Structure 1
Amino acid sequence: MFVEIIMVPLITAASACSLHNVMLPSQNYGTKKGIKCGTNLGQGFGMKRACCGGLQIKANSQNYNGDDKFSRVFSTSSIRQNFTIRAYEVDANGIASIETLMNYFQHSITYHCKTLGVHDDVAGSTKEMIKRNLVWVYSEMQVSTYRYPKWDDAVEVETWLSTAGMNAVRFNWIVRDFKTNQMLNRASSISVLMNKLTRRLSKIPEEVRREFESYLVNSRIIIKDGDKKIPKLDDTTADYICTGLRPRWSDLDINFHVNNAKYVSWILESIPQSILMNYELSAMSLKFKRECNRDSKLQSLAEVCSDKNNNNSDNNIECNHMLRFEDGVEILRGRTQWRPKPTNNFDIFNHVPEDSIKDL
């Protein structure tokens, strides 16, 4: 099973993408005119962009930053959108929070599908999906961060859809610094279909597949650690347990399901403060098991361990997570990796780094 995670209004169940037949105000997107009107904003980055309302379609992209292996997509298969980091989107260190990035991912993939003209309602379903009461839901998600943007930074989020077997779709994101074109973050998710009446997973009907299959790119997986097994935690194996978690009204979307970014907030609740003060999240892998709704009462469990891949030679920390109902039924499993914070982050609020992490 998995959990239905509904992403703010536009995507059901933290789902994958909203698929829809509506064009944005400017209809230059896939046209020669639209590409011709784009300006060379990169100043040497080797690309032209057709833009309107913050959305940009990549055209004639070249290998300008060494990350083309992660985004070798063509024409309207890849769409770029710009965001400016707002003051209310940063955490205590003055950098964009992981929840902010998750919301950017959701927003950009929704508008990607909207621009392609393959979704047909605000909940994120195609016409054929609506006929069959189907919605997209996340089953897995991986995120990797190299550097977090700061307040007032401009970032560019590139999105595209790719194949993921017969009954799933993969959504991909790359976040770049808009000024330097440096890659900051990348993420990938696998989404499947669920019947919203029976709450059971569904195969992708052929009629639904025909609506979006021409936009799927046969690209490589941009994050490859999704197959690493995440252990199941319980009261005896968890180092920290946070209880009394409940969804608030503001955590719900139009289908009365919890926004996917909230799940990330909950698993971070069980991380000890000494790690949050001295480390920053560098990678995250999530596997969704079940749904969560307004009346749910939850617990967040965490196990803290060293990064066994490098014998902790660079002081990285790895944590295993489980989100469960109070009765013990599992909702989500996750793994987070943490690296020491840059020293210039500590003086933002006169925080002094601890000499050691006493909780470990």
Structure 2
Amino acid sequence: MQVITEKEYNVHYYEVDYKKKLLITGLMNFFSDVAVQQSENLGIGLEYLKENNVAWVIYKWDIYLKRYPMFNEKVRVRTMPYSLRKFYAYRTFEMIDEKGDVIAEANSLWFFIDIKNRKSIRILDKMYDAYGIDRSNNKALNMEKIKSPERIDYEENFNIRYTDIDTNRHVNNVKYVDWAIETIPVDIVDNYELKSISIIYEKEITYGEHIKVVTQIEENNNDITCIHEVRNSDKKGVAKLKTVWIKN
């Protein structure tokens, strides 16, 4: 039987924007935290991964928001491993408010890698047993495909800091969202609400690198779609993002 893990969070002051709404990065941190908590509970957490020289690396996110929780609101975040497919895994998430309504959902795709050579490897048998997933369960989630921007409307440069690095010694996946939003004009951020975000991580970024984020903006009647690409110092794309904003 597949394992479901649920954890309660209180939205703190340092996790909200000036409208007192939870930041999208805060929501992503809740999702990541409950996934780590599940693995820790099952005995296949950070220490187990380190001892076996393996790691889970995020490859894709699709996140959809019905509404943002507010400052001091209590929410429950739930995660479930959806399937394992030899070298990678799908995982789903939900955020639930105090009324029991689902206010945010996410699908994700993770690669299982060897830490030493940074290559994908076959998922260990222990993972199937711990997560309660039958070895014949290799169904896939339908996830967003993102193209590179066709033009550049806005761009920003960033240096990778020590505080950007996670336990796998590369840039934390949430940082890419911070960078992408920094390239969007402030009047859009002020007058529109981010309703969905999709991300594809194509290459790792490490401490000391210099990156550029380029953004294409398409305006419709009541919504705006932004296509973002993170490029390294060799001008090669290392991640793509798509954000959809709805007018307040």
Q: Same fold (TM over 0.5)?
A: yes
Partner of 1:23: none
Task: Give a deviation string over 1:209-263, Cα, whole Å, max 9, x none.
Answer: 4443524796987x84x24x322237xx1211112x0222222224432222111
Counterpart residue identity of residue 113, structure 1? S
Q: Return the alpha-carbon distance in structure 1 between the equivalents of residues 69 and 233 of structure 2.
A: 36
The alignment status of 1:334 with 2:247, answered yes or no, reads no
Partner of 2:31, secondary structure, is helix
The answer to whether the 8 Å contact 2:128/2:134 transfers is no
Distance 1:101-1:172 versus aligned 2 partners, 3 A rule: same
- SS of equivalent to 1:260: coil
| Post-superposition offset of 1:276 | 0.7
DSSP 3-state at the match of 1:258: coil
User: Once superposed, which parts of structure 1, at least 4 consecutive aligned residues long, lie more than 4 Å away?
Assistant: 208-211, 215-221
Return the letter of the residue paired with 2:46. D
Are positions 1:259 and 2:185 aligned together? no
Change (3 A) 1:216 1:94: farther
Q: 1:358 corresponds to which residue?
A: none
Amino acid at match of 1:230: I
Aligned partners of 2:181 and 2:167: how far apart in 1? 25
SS in 2 for 1:100: helix
Q: Is residue 119 from structure 1 mapped to residue 47 from structure 2 by the alignment?
A: no
Q: Aligned partner of 1:283: which letter?
A: S
Specify which structure has the higher proportion of strand: 2
Range with bigger deviation, 82-91 or 265-274: 265-274
Letter in 2 for 1:199: R
- Whole-angstrom distance in 2 between the partners of 1:323 and 1:240: 12
Q: 2:31 is aligned with what amino acid?
A: F
Structure 1 spans left out of the alignment, 5+ residues? 1-73, 307-311, 342-360
1:298 paired residue number: 211
Q: How many residues end up aligned between the 2 structures? A: 247
CA distance in 2 between counterparts of 1:337 and 1:174 reads 19
Match among 152, 158, 169 for residue 72 of structure 2:
152
Equivalent residues in 2 for 1:182-201 (5 A)?
182-201=101-120
The 5 A counterparts of 1:230-241 are 230-233=146-149, 237-241=151-155
* Identical columns (%): 24
Q: 2:123 aligns with which of 201, 204, 213?
A: 204
Distance across 1 between alignment mates of 2:134 and 2:181: 33
Which range is displaced more, 160-169 or 187-196?
160-169
Within 5 A, what are the aligned runs for 1:11-22? Answer: none
CA separation in 1, counterparts of 2:84 and 2:66?
Answer: 25
Q: Which residue of 2 aligns with 1:53?
A: none
Q: What is the correspondence of 1:280-359 to structure 2 with a 5 Å cutoff?
A: 280-306=193-219, 312-313=220-221, 315-341=222-248
- Shift of the 146–220 alpha-carbon distance from structure 1 to 2, 3 Å rule, reads farther
Alpha-carbon distance between aligned partners in 2 of 1:219 and 1:184, rounded to the nearest angstrom: 28
The answer to whether the Cα contact below 8 Å between 2:229 and 2:239 also exists between their aligned partners in 1 is yes
Match of 1:171 among 85, 91, 96: 91
Counterpart Cα distance in 2 of 1:204 and 1:255: 17
- Show the counterpart of 1:345: none
Give the CA RMSD over aligned residues.
2.4
* CA deviation string 1:159-194 (max 9, x = no partner): 1111153321112110011x2111110111110112
Shift of 1:318: 0.8
Please report the TM-score for the alignment, with normalisation by the length of structure 1. 0.63
Q: Is structure 2 residue 12 aligned with structure 1 residue 92?
A: no
Structure 2 counterpart of 1:295, one-letter code: G
SS at match of 2:132: helix
Hey, what's the Cα distance between the residues in 2 that align with 1:324 and 1:80?
36
Instruction: Note closer, same or farther for the CA distance 1:213–1:112 as it changes in structure 2 (3 Å cut).
Output: closer
Name the structure 2 match of 1:137.
57
Is the 2:87–2:120 contact (alpha carbons within 8 Å) kept by the matching residues of 1?
A: no
